[in-house]
């Protein structure tokens, strides 16, 4: 069989597997606050609402618009949601395969690295998640930068700023760290070796990205100040608090700076990096020609790997970066592609297989990323009991780990209550799918409702007044008559009194409808 035929077959296998594998795990269990993060916001865009202007968000506007696109194409349902994440998994898998193949790693090992990435990248979450999107697009930035340095193709340089912008609009970090590193490398490269065609292509890419961003603000009439407050200033304050242990810092960077946190948890990433460095010097020892660009690529891979680790520690989020291991080993293989040792090849196969199986067992099969690792997944029930739109989802959450049917019954009652009330309403909930199920704009004000200062500013925050004005303006503009709290926690995780503080011009008549879970808060005269 010809190489081209084998290549086509391997590509088809990767396409089918990477999409299907993520799709399978995207339908097994959820963590409502994260699993539905872009569900109602994506639907709201189809209803004419926009992030920053109509919804206070601190993450991922591009993820919202991408989800709106998938809803438009595949319908307003859970399948479209998982299709979105599965497509991103397919995207990074094929990108990695083509990248290594382009760098003359043989097709079998290119396939092996890409296959490992397809298992370890998106399936750990399996539903749209801002960190994963940002991580994937920042990896594309790294791929493009390495290709641009190696082949000096001006067309490649044009797309580098576009991927930088895409990653940043998915999530501020790790995109910001990788983007800063990229700009430093680009500056060093053009100082050392100025190529007018590549330089102009990069500048054109930057200008195109800037025009795109400005056009977005102008077309949808989004105040730029809202973007800076919600997407720059507020997240920066959260990051700062996590470093120094300020407001809302449930875990600080200092807490994570332990041997176990830095080395133990990421030991195989460190091992892969050490392996990469050894391969580079082995290449030099063998008197293989090493160009200036090769040193830059080495710096990019090592620096970006540790920036990803730093971001993982700082965000205090669940771990999602173990797909770095096959990527770094793949770069090692690029350095050692002339090494025709069967022992080296066997070692690579065993190592990649080991880490893939290891982290798959921990994060995918046990659903550790969405806190389902200690839950009996076999008792999950079909979520079509909530709505036919959730036909494929096996419903079980960490909130009701032993009785998912009870949670479903509470949600069904909530839906019936909201359906009967025809007034203009605002719903505050972690079940961010109610708008879509009811096919109604429920005027969601936030992506999340965490009362620790991580999703919106608390009273002492310098942006408290900005958020307060945002909420009050939305309240008046939409002519809201009643607020509903649909809680996901048995003892009441969402407290109306915390939210009421922002609505200074209104008084409310509050009552519980479903004990501990559903409450209504009608506007009444303050007299």
DSSP of 159-226: HHHHHHHHHHHH-STTHHHHHHHHHHHHHHHHHHS--HHHHHHHHHHHHHHHHHHHHHHHHTT--HHH
DSSP E strands in 435-479: the ranges are none
pLDDT at 30 over 90: yes
- In tens, the pLDDT along 114-154 reads 999 999 999 999 999 999 999 999 999 999 999 999 988 88
Residue 78 CB neighbour total at 10 angstroms: 27
Helix (H, G, I), strand (E, B) or coil at 435: helix
Alpha carbons 82 and 97: distance in angstroms, whole number: 23
Tokens found for residue 143: 């791929």
Condensed to tens digits (0 to 9), the pLDDT of residues 197-216 reads 999 999 999 999 999 999 99
Statement: residue 17 has pLDDT above 80: yes
Tell me the two tokens of residue 273: 């990096």
Work out the average pLDDT over 453-470: 90
Percent of the chain predicted with pLDDT > 70: 93
Rounded to an integer, the average pLDDT of 306-335 is 90
Would you state the pLDDT for residue 452?
73
With 90 as the cut, is the pLDDT of residue 352 above it?
yes
Closest by CA to 193, choosing from 332, 62, 294, is 294
Using the predicted structure, report yes or no on whether residue 286 has a pLDDT greater than 70: no
Please compute the mean of the pLDDT values over residues 102-122 and round it to a whole number: 95
Q: How far is CA 119 from the centre of its chain?
A: 16
3-state secondary structure (DSSP) of residue 49: coil
Q: How large is the average pLDDT for residues 66-89?
A: 98
Whole-number pLDDT of residue 4:
77
**94 closest CA partner among 149, 29, 17, 21:** 17
Report the distance separating Cα 145 and Cα 160, nearest Å. 7
Rounded Cα distance, 288 and 282, in Å = 9
Token pair listed for 11: 């590509």
Label residue 489 by pLDDT band (50, 70, 90): confident
Q: Give the pairing type, strands 518-524 and 507-514.
A: antiparallel
Strand partners, 56: 446
Q: Coil, helix or strand for 330? A: helix
Distance, CA of 345 to chain centre = 34
Question: What pLDDT score does 522 carry?
Answer: 94
pLDDT tier for residue 279 given thresholds of 50, 70 and 90? confident
Q: What is the mean pLDDT of residues 230-252?
A: 73
User: Of the segments 103-117, 336-350, 448-462, which one has the largest average pLDDT value?
Assistant: 103-117
Q: What is the CA radius of gyration of the chain?
A: 24
């Amino acid at each position: 069989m010809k190489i081209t035929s084998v290549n086509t077959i391997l590509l088809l296998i990767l396409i089918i597997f990477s999409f299907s594998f993520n799709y399978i795990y995207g339908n097994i269990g959820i963590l409502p606050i994260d699993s539905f993060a872009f569900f109602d916001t994506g639907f709201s865009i189809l209803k004419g609402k926009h992030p920053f202007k109509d919804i206070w968000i601190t993450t991922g506007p591009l993820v919202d618009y991408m989800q709106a696109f998938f809803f438009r194409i595949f319908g307003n349902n859970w399948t479209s949601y998982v299709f979105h994440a599965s497509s991103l998994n397919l995207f990074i898998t094929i990108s990695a395969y083509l990248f290594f193949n382009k760098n003359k790693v043989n097709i079998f090992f290119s396939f092996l690295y890409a296959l490992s990435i397809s298992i370890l990248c998106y399936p750990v979450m399996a539903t749209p998640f801002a960190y994963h999107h940002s991580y994937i697009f920042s990896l594309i930035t790294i791929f493009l930068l390495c290709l641009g340095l190696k082949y000096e193709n001006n067309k490649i340089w044009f797309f580098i700023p576009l991927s930088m912008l895409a990653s940043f609009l998915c999530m501020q970090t790790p995109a910001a760290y990788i983007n800063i590193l990229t700009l430093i490398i680009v500056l060093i490269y053009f100082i050392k070796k100025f190529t007018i065609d590549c330089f102009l292509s990069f500048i054109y890419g930057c200008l195109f990205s800037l025009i795109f961003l400005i056009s977005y603000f102008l077309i949808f009439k989004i105040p730029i100040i809202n973007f800076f407050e919600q997407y720059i200033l507020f997240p920066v304050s959260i990051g700062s608090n996590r470093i120094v242990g300020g407001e809302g810092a449930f875990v600080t960077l200092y807490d994570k700076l332990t041997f176990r946190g830095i080395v133990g948890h990421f030991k195989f990433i460190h091992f892969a990096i050490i392996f990469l460095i050894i391969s580079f010097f082995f290449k030099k020892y063998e008197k293989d020609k090493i160009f200036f660009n090769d040193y830059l690529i080495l710096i990019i891979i090592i620096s970006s790997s540790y920036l990803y680790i730093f971001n993982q520690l700082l965000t205090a989020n669940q771990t999602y970066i173990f797909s770095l291991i096959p990527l770094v080993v793949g770069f090692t293989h690029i350095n050692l592609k002339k090494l025709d040792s069967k022992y080296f090849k066997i070692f690579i196969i065993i190592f990649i297989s080991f880490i893939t199986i290891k982290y798959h067992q921990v994060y995918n099969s046990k659903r550790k990323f969405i806190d389902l690792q200690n839950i009996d997944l076999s008792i999950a029930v079909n979520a079509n009991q909530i709505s036919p739109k959730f036909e494929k989802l096996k419903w079980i959450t960490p909130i009701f780990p032993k009785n998912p049917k009870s949670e479903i019954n509470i949600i069904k009652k909530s839906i019936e209550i909201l359906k009967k009330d025809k007034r203009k309403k605002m719903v505050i909930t972690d079940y961010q799918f109610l708008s879509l199920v009811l096919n109604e704009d429920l005027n969601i004000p936030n992506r999340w409702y965490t009362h620790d200062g991580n999703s919106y500013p608390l009273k002492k925050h310098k942006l408290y007044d900005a958020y307060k004005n945002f909420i009050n303006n939305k309240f008046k503009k939409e002519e809201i008559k009643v607020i509903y709290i649909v809680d996901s926690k048995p003892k009441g995780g969402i407290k109306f009194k915390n939210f009421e503080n922002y609505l200074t011009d209104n008084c409310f008549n509050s009552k519980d409808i479903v004990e501990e879970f559903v409450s209504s808060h009608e506007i009444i005269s303050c007299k």
